Amino acid sequence: MAEIRRITIFYFSGTGNSKGVASWFCEFAVKKDIQCQLIDISKIDDSVFDIIDSNTLIGIISPVHGFSFPKITLDFIRNFPKGKNRIILMNTRGE
């Protein structure tokens, strides 16, 4: 398994919890000398997929609503291009 050198984290956040988790994850990666980029799912178009190469670890972080991701996250996942990237899928929930 190749060493991780780049991470792109896509997140959707309603109350800020998922954005916070994405930020913490990215801060930890940067401390380990790993390039990390945060991208808000609600503010992107399809051109964002052009920046991802096959060596980038992909993170998708979103809240769950009623035991499932919200429609915006599910649509994003459905439209994500096929590839060989390693992916981390993470959810948050309110307390």
**Amino acid 76: pLDDT:** 92
Block mean pLDDT (10 aa), the chain, length 95: 87 92 96 95 82 88 89 91 89 76
**Amino acid 93: pLDDT:** 79
**Amino acid 15: pLDDT:** 85
Give pTM, 2 decimals: 0.90
Euclidean distance between CA atoms 72 and 41, whole angstroms: 8
The residues near 5 (Cβ < 8 Å, ≥ 6 apart) are: 34, 35, 55
